[in-house]
Each structure stands twice: as structure tokens, then as C-alpha cells.
């Protein structure tokens, strides 16, 4: 009935990068100094990542003269475990904007983005069965729970409120409406497949299965493909004609002192109800077979029975394969960000001011102003709830503001994918035009194919800080 | 504005300039071979001594059994080689001969295996029969649709074994390698 969603990109460079409006999507309680901003439609936020923590494209496909079968054996089959993942996310903002309320302590933001993501864990025992089979493996239990995979395409529409409570505290909340386009999930599998010495025959083969694959939208697109109406089906499902869900982001910024700031956010506390074109496939039961068994004394009157077909029927009855169209609920991947930041150096506003702004954080229309400083240094944490337990990434960062035009943020991140993840973000403010670009795991650029993780983010906005005072 | 765009381009250009990648050959996937070997029991037949003694005549049992396991397309289209392993255990008081015939859909005999075992006490007879490049023709396996079992009593119809639950038991298992890719 329930499945846990669990994938998303760690946007550690964008987080707490207050110059960039999209940072509000990572912390609705971020301090803002915009009067208003408008993302360039379809260009305001494009991001994506691909990661596999224990194997790379280069490991298998390098043109090194080695036999691919040997490479797969030595670098995948003998090494990977069910904790190793292959995941990716692509996110495209099609609209994003924000404006300050008549009450200058309140900032509203809104937008919509498409998100396509998937995660698959290495199905170790399935791979063993597929590549090696079960011969000469008496008593080995092939664990059917090794199969964990899920993915979705969803349109997210959101509206956020950011409120500066006082000079030290800013709070924010964002409501999200999810419109599911496609979803699949097989993550609650249990059971085993095992050969043992038989009671009567040489080998007893046991399958104990509790397998389930949930899908939503796939049938609808299959039908739409037949009707040559894939585009209209996509638009329909993306805009409230598919599965629906609700979510919430919350966040805060709190100044421990004039230059030391604590931030935190929890994103995607939400769920989706998959009721439109949902289809679930399941295989559940237990059977032990020792081949066709004929006891002439017991079966004497029924020796003309089709023993083979009986065996097949018995197995199918014991482990039935079922499909149904019941709705199901999936939970969105809940993420947590936190940071502590220390600002130092000259205040930015003391040297001429930003082109169109008053160069303070949380300043527009506000009463008590805070200065932005040339440098910031700090640490961040990112956590995401994964099917195989929470996953954590730790980041150290340094932000440098050069004049009022350029801000650079360099990060070092240690996580499941790599301990050598150095990232760099660049924000440029040219009058009202804001551009940003970020790339991750830069050290792996020496040989991209050997990288376990690569991500990017870029976008373009128009920002106004209002008239100078 | 132009300068800003240039700066962004410089950012990506720098990233690309300092990035490189070893040469990849994705056509290697064509060389991937997946040939697992699966093992399971095939059939088990047990004839008690009491049955053998009750039936007059030499052949105490003859029966054709439908057996489509090898004809399933997933198996028949992918099988590369294999071994059928038989175990014949005789705890009866008579020597026995078992003739196993593999038949196709039209009941043509594709292959025959003959087992003879002495009266108990005797050791279990074990035989491996290979199919494929180093054994019999794989077409035998691919085309088998029925198995005919003939059991012949080479002894008397009166003696009784002193062993518990005396019977002739034929066990078998299969170990086949398939070409999945």
C-alpha cells in the first residue's frame, strides 16, 4: 500500500547561496533581499546528476583491450553489493518567481518544475542467478529482497512564504502540489530461492517469494502511444490529470551572532496518491519442488495423469502471479539540509553597493538591516531517507563575493559516492540579470568516464531589489 | 550583459578544458556473454517391491509421461549444454532393468538409457549423461516431449527383501547451461 520515495540531488553548492533565488527552493527560510525576481521560463533552473558509488562507466567500457566479461566479473559481480546504487535526477524549472509583500518582512515565491528521477540498487543475488545460475550452490539462499528500484516523473507546483520574524530569525514554509506523470517502484520485495538436498529426489528447489512492482501512468502512456496521443497524455498528467500529492518544505535562518548564522530546512514532507492508471504486479507464495514425483503404489490408479502439467499447476497455485489496479501511496523523498556559516571580511555594502540593490541581507523594505560580507566559511549537512537507510553528505564551503557582481562558492563534500568531491559555483549579477552555474566533483573531470558522481546546475533570473534608498 | 555571458561561458569552458576522458568503447557490449548454469531435479519414480511381486510377467511397469520441461521455449531456445544425472537405488530382492526412452511429440524415440541393478544389497548406481558439444546431441533434449519408462523384473515374484520399505527408486536431476545473451 505504501512505498517510500527516496532519490534527489544534493545541491550543496546552491544551498545557502543567498544571492541566487533558487536557493529558496532548498531553504524556504533563507534570508532574502529581493524586491522581486522572475526566472526566465525554462532557463531559470536546470539541474541534474548521475551517480553510481562503486562502479563507473570507465570500469566497464574503457577501451583497454580487456575482455568485457572479465571486467564485469571482477568489477561488478565480485564487488558490488545491494548497498551500491545507480541513481540520477533531472530537474527543469519552467516557471519561478517571487515578490515582496506590502509587509516588507514577508516574501512570497512560487514556481513549477518537472523532475525525473530514478534509483536502482545492485541486485546482487539476482545478478548471480542471471550470470552464474544456481548450479553447485546447494543451501545457498538467493535473497530476493536484493531487488530495489524506483523512479518517477512528476510536475511540482509550489508556493512559499518567507517571513523575517526579527533581526535574527527568518522562517519559511513552502506548500507543494505534486502531479505525478509516471511512477514505478519495487522496493518491498522479500523471499529467497534455494536448492537443498531433496527428501525424495536429488535436489529440492524452493521459491519463497513476496515480490511486488507498483506502476502508475505506464499503462496510460502505453494506450496513448497506440492512439498517437503521448504529448497530450503527458500534459494532462503533468497538470493535475494524473496522480496527485501534497508536500511541505520548512526552513529557517537564525543568527547566533552578527557574523555567525545557523540555517536548516526539511524538504518534501509529502506523499503522492497514485490512483490514475495504477497497476500492481505481485508474486507471492512458497513452493518446494523435486521434479515430477511418481510413487507407483500411491499413483497406480492415476498413472495416465499429466504429472508435468500438475507440477506446473501446483507451483502456479502456490505462488500466484497477480495484477490489480488498486491505488497506492508513495512518500516523497524527505531531505534535510543544515548549515553553520561564519561571515568575515569587509561588508559588501561598504564599497559602493550592488548595482541595483542596497546590498544587505533581508533588507528590502525591512527595518533592521544586516550586512553581507565579502567572505563566508562554514559547514553543511545533507541527509536523505533512502530505502536502505539514511544517506548523509557533509560539506565544507567557502564563499567569496567579488564586488557586487560576482559571488563564488567552493565546496568540499564527502558522501557515499566520493570523498574527493570538490565543487564550484559561480553567480553573476549584471544589473537585473542574474546567472548562475555550478558543477560538482571537479577532480573527476580528469577522466569523466571514471567518475562516480557528476552534477550540474545553472539558470537565469531577473532580480529587482527595488529603488535605492 | 555580453561580458556576463562570456564569464559564464568561461566557467563552462574551463570545466570542459580541464576535463577529459579515457577512450570508451561501448561496442564491447556486443561481446558480453551471459551463460548461467541451472540445476534442479527432473523426475523421481518409486516402485515398491510389493507392486513388483504382484505383477506377473517380466515387465512390471511401462508408462509414458508427458514431459514438456525441456520443450519450454525459454529453455529450448537457449540451452547450450547440460548433464542429466541419474541415481538408481535398489533395495528389493531382485535384479531390475530400467529402460528410459526420450520421445518427441510424434512418439519417435530420440534417446534411450538402460540401467541394470543387482538385487539388494547393492550400491546405488549413479550415471551422468552429457548433452551438447562433449556429449549426446542437444536436439534430443530440445525435442523431448515425453518420457517412457520401462521397468523389468529380472528376478522372481516371490522373494522379499529384508530391508525397510524395499523398492526400486530412480532419481534424476538436470544441470544445464543456457545462453541468456
| DSSP string for A183-241 | EEEE---EEEEEEEE-SSSSEEEEEEEEEEEEEESHHHHHHHHHTT-HHHHHHHIIIII
pLDDT tens for each residue of A345-402? 988 764 443 444 444 454 444 445 577 889 999 999 999 887 777 889 999 999 999 8
Q: Which residues of A touch B37 (CB under 8 A)?
A: 132-133, 135-136
Interface test with B, best of A198, A201, A304 (most B CBs within 10 A): A201
Nearest CB to A133 within list B33, B36, B67: B36
A252 near A285, Cβ under 8 Å? no
Nearest to A202 by CA among B12, B7, B85: B85
Nearest to A443 by CA among A411, A425, A421, A413: A421
| Radius of gyration, CA atoms only, chain A | 27
Nearest residue on chain B to A293, alpha-carbon basis:
B44
The pLDDT, as a whole number, for residue A163 is: 96
Residue A284, pLDDT above cutoff 50: yes
Of residues A253 and A366, the one with the higher pLDDT is A253
Nearest CB to B46 within list A69, A296, A430: A296
Can you tell me the mean pLDDT for A206-229?
94
Residues of A numbered 75-114 whose beta carbons fall under 8 angstroms of chain B's beta carbons: which are they?
none
Cβ neighbour number for residue B113 with a 10 Å cutoff: 15
Cα–Cα distance between A142 and A54 in angstroms, integer?
A: 22
- Please state the pTM of the whole predicted model: 0.85
* CA–CA min distance A244, chain B (Å): 38
Residue B8, pLDDT above cutoff 70: no
Determine what percent of chain A is predicted with pLDDT higher than 90.
72
Residue A445, pLDDT above cutoff 90: no
Residue A84 — φ and ψ, nearest 5°?
Answer: -85, 135
Residue A2, pLDDT above cutoff 60: no
Residues of A numbered 261-290 whose beta carbons fall under 8 angstroms of chain B's beta carbons: which are they?
289-290
Exposure string over B35-63, b if 16+ CB within 10 A, otherwise e = bbbbbbbbbbbbbbbebbbeeeeeebbeb
| pLDDT bucket at A4, cuts 50 / 70 / 90 | very low
Side-chain-side CA neighbours of residue B115 (13 Å): 25
Interface ipTM = 0.86
CA triple A268-A269-A272, angle to 5 deg: 85
Can you tell me the mean pLDDT for A69-80?
94
The pLDDT, as a whole number, for residue A296 is: 86
What domain range is B100 assigned to? 40-178
Residue B72, pLDDT above cutoff 60: yes
| pLDDT bucket at A7, cuts 50 / 70 / 90 | very low
* CA–CA min distance B141, chain A (Å): 16
Q: Which residues of A touch B43 (CB under 8 A)?
A: 201, 291-294, 307
Residue B85, pLDDT above cutoff 80: yes
Cβ neighbour number for residue B34 with a 10 Å cutoff: 16
Determine what percent of chain A is predicted with pLDDT higher than 70.
93
Residue B10 lies in a domain: no
The pLDDT, as a whole number, for residue A13 is: 94
The pLDDT, as a whole number, for residue A6 is: 40
A133 near B36, Cβ under 8 Å? yes
Residue A454, pLDDT above cutoff 90: no
Inter-chain CB pairs, A–B, below 8 Å: 173
The pLDDT, as a whole number, for residue B21 is: 77
How many domains would you assign to chain B?
1
By the CB < 8 Å criterion, does B177 face chain A? Answer: yes
| pLDDT bucket at A416, cuts 50 / 70 / 90 | confident
Cβ neighbour number for residue A390 with a 10 Å cutoff: 11
C-alpha of A251 from chain center: 19
Residue B123 lies in a domain: yes
Domain ranges of chain A: 12-137+147-185+211-274+330-464
* CA–CA min distance A17, chain B (Å): 17
Residue A226, pLDDT above cutoff 70: yes
Can you tell me the mean pLDDT for A425-450?
89
Contact between chains at B66 and A307 (C-beta distance less than 8 A) = yes
| pLDDT bucket at A129, cuts 50 / 70 / 90 | very high
Residue A49, pLDDT above cutoff 70: yes
Residue B159 lies in a domain: yes
Cβ neighbour number for residue A446 with a 10 Å cutoff: 13
By the CB < 8 Å criterion, does A430 face chain B? Answer: yes
C-alpha cell at B32: 558480453
Exposure string over A79-107, b if 16+ CB within 10 A, otherwise e = ebebebbbbbbbbbbbbbbbebeeebbeb
Residue B59 lies in a domain: yes
The pLDDT, as a whole number, for residue A303 is: 79
Residue B169 lies in a domain: yes
* CA–CA min distance B170, chain A (Å): 8
| Exposed/middle/buried for residue A308 (C-beta within 10 Å: 0-12, 13-18, 19+) | buried
pLDDT tens for each residue of A174-192? 999 999 999 999 989 999 9
- H/E segment holding residue A338: strand A335-347
Cα–Cα distance between A81 and A92 in angstroms, integer?
A: 32
Nearest to B152 by CA among B100, B107, B110, B109: B100
pLDDT tens for each residue of A132-185? 999 999 999 999 999 999 999 999 999 999 999 998 999 999 999 999 999 999
C-alpha of A377 from chain center: 27
Interface test with B, best of A58, A129, A135 (most B CBs within 10 A): A135
Q: What share of chain A is helix, strand, coil (3-state, %, to 5)?
A: 20, 50, 30
Determine what percent of chain B is predicted with pLDDT higher than 90.
61
Please provide the average confidence, as pLDDT, over all residues in chain B: 88
Residue A248, pLDDT above cutoff 90: yes
Cα–Cα distance between A10 and A16 in angstroms, integer?
A: 13
Please provide the average confidence, as pLDDT, over all residues in chain A: 89
Can you tell me the mean pLDDT for B111-126?
92
pLDDT tens for each residue of A105-127? 999 999 999 999 889 999 999 99
The pLDDT, as a whole number, for residue A355 is: 42
Give A146's DSSP letter. G
Can you tell me the mean pLDDT for B69-82?
90
Nearest residue on chain A to B35, alpha-carbon basis:
A131
The pLDDT, as a whole number, for residue B16 is: 59
Contact between chains at A303 and B63 (C-beta distance less than 8 A) = yes
Contact between chains at A428 and B180 (C-beta distance less than 8 A) = no
The pLDDT, as a whole number, for residue A349 is: 61
The pLDDT, as a whole number, for residue B2 is: 52
Which CATH number is A12-137+147-185+211-274+330-464 given?
2.40.160.40
Residue B30 lies in a domain: no
Q: Which residues of A touch B7 (CB under 8 A)?
A: 406, 426, 428
Residue A236 — φ and ψ, nearest 5°?
Answer: -60, -50
**Residue B68 belongs to domain with CATH number:** 2.60.120
Contact between chains at B34 and A57 (C-beta distance less than 8 A) = no
Cα–Cα distance between A360 and A118 in angstroms, integer?
A: 40
Contact between chains at B44 and A201 (C-beta distance less than 8 A) = yes
The pLDDT, as a whole number, for residue A5 is: 42
pLDDT tens for each residue of A307-356? 989 999 999 999 999 999 999 999 988 999 999 999 999 887 644 434 44
Residues of B numbered 54-93 whose beta carbons fall under 8 angstroms of chain A's beta carbons: which are they?
61, 63, 65-69, 85, 87
Can you tell me the mean pLDDT for B92-106?
93
The pLDDT, as a whole number, for residue A390 is: 83
The pLDDT, as a whole number, for residue B157 is: 86
Residue B31 lies in a domain: no
Instruction: Give whole-number Cα distances, B92 to A80, A183, A202, B158, in Å.
Output: 53, 62, 20, 11
Amino acid at each position: 500500500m505504501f512505498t517510500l520515495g527516496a532519490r534527489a540531488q544534493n545541491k550543496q553548492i546552491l544551498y545557502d547561496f543567498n544571492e541566487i533565488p533558487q536557493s529558496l527552493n532548498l531553504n524556504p527560510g533563507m534570508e532574502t533581499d529581493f524586491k522581486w525576481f522572475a526566472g526566465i521560463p525554462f532557463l531559470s533552473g536546470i539541474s541534474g546528476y548521475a551517480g553510481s558509488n562503486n562502479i563507473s562507466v570507465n570500469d566497464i567500457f574503457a577501451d583497454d583491450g580487456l575482455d568485457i566479461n572479465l571486467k564485469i566479473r571482477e568489477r561488478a559481480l565480485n564487488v558490488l553489493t545491494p548497498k551500491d546504487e545507480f541513481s540520477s535526477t533531472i530537474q527543469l524549472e519552467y516557471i519561478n518567481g517571487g515578490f515582496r509583500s506590502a509587509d516588507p518582512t514577508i516574501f512570497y515565491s512560487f514556481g513549477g518544475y518537472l523532475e525525473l528521477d530514478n534509483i536502482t540498487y545492485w541486485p546482487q543475488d539476482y545478478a548471480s542467478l542471471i550470470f552464474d545460475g544456481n548450479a553447485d550452490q546447494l543451501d545457498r539462499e538467493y535473497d530476493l529482497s536484493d531487488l530495489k528500484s524506483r523512479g518517477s516523473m512528476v510536475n511540482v507546483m509550489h508556493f512559499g512564504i518567507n517571513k523575517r520574524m526579527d533581526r535574527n530569525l527568518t522562517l519559511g514554509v513552502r506548500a507543494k502540489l505534486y502531479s505525478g506523470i509516471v511512477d514505478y517502484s519495487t522496493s518491498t520485495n522479500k523471499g529467497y530461492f534455494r536448492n537443498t538436498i531433496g527428501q525424495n529426489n536429488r535436489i529440492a528447489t524452493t521459491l519463497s517469494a513476496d515480490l511486488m512492482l507498483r506502476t502508475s501512468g505506464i499503462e496510460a502512456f502505453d494506450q496513448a502511444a497506440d492512439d498517437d496521443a503521448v504529448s497530450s497524455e503527458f500534459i494532462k498528467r503533468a497538470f493535475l490529470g494524473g496522480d496527485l500529492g501534497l508536500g511541505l518544505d520548512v526552513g529557517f535562518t537564525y543568527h547566533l551572532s552578527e557574523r555567525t548564522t545557523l540555517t536548516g530546512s526539511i524538504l518534501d514532507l509529502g506523499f503522492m496518491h497514485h490512483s490514475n492508471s495504477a497497476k500492481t504486479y505481485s508474486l507471492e507464495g512458497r513452493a518446494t519442488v523435486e521434479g515430477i514425483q511418481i510413487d507407483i503404489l500411491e499413483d497406480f490408479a492415476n498413472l495416465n495423469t499429466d504429472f508435468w502439467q500438475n507440477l506446473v499447476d501446483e507451483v502456479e497455485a502456490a505462488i500466484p502471479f497477480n495484477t490489480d489496479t488498486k491505488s497506492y501511496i508513495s512518500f516523497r523523498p524527505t531531505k534535510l539540509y543544515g548549515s553553520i556559516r561564519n561571515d568575515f571580511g569587509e561588508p559588501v555594502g561598504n564599497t559602493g553597493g550592488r548595482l541595483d540593490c542596497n546590498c544587505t541581507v533581508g533588507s528590502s523594505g525591512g527595518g533592521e538591516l544586516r550586512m553581507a560580507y565579502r567572505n563566508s566559511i562554514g559547514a553543511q549537512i545533507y541527509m536523505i531517507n533512502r530505502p536502505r537507510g539514511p544517506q548523509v553528505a557533509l560539506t565544507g564551503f567557502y564563499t567569496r563575493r567579488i564586488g557586487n557582481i560576482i559571488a563564488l562558492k567552493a565546496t568540499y563534500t564527502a558522501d557515499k559516492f566520493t570523498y574527493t568531491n570538490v565543487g564550484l559555483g559561480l553567480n553573476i549579477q549584471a544589473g537585473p540579470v542574474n546567472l548562475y552555474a555550478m558543477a560538482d566533483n571537479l577532480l573527476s573531470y580528469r577522466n569523466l568516464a571514471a567518475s562516480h558522481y557528476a552534477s550540474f546546475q545553472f539558470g537565469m533570473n531577473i532580480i529587482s531589489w527595488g529603488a535605492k534608498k | 550583459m555580453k561580458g556576463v555571458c562570456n564569464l559564464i561561458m568561461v566557467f563552462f569552458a574551463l570545466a570542459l578544458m580541464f576535463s577529459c576522458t579515457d577512450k570508451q568503447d561501448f561496442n564491447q557490449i556486443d561481446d558480453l556473454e551471459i551463460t548461467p548454469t541451472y540445476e534442479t531435479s527432473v523426475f523421481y519414480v518409486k516402485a515398491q517391491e510389493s507392486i513388483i511381486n504382484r505383477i506377473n510377467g517380466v515387465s512390471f511397469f511401462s508408462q509414458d509421461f508427458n514431459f514438456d520441461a525441456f520443450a519450454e521455449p525459454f529453455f529450448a531456445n537457449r540451452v547450450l549444454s547440460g548433464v542429466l544425472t541419474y541415481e538408481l537405488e535398489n533395495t528389493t530382492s531382485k535384479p531390475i532393468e530400467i529402460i528410459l526412452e526420450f520421445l518427441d511429440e510424434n512418439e519417435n524415440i530420440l534417446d534411450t538409457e538402460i540401467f541394470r541393478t543387482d538385487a539388494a544389497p547393492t550400491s546405488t548406481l549413479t550415471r551422468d549423461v552429457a548433452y551438447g558439444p562433449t556429449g549426446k546431441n542437444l536436439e534430443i533434449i530440445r525435442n523431448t516431449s515425453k518420457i517412457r519408462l520401462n521397468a523389468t523384473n529380472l528376478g522372481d515374484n516371490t522373494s522379499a527383501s529384508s530391508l525397510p520399505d524395499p523398492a526400486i527408486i530412480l532419481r534424476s536431476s538436470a544441470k544445464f547451461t543456457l545462453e541468456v545473451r
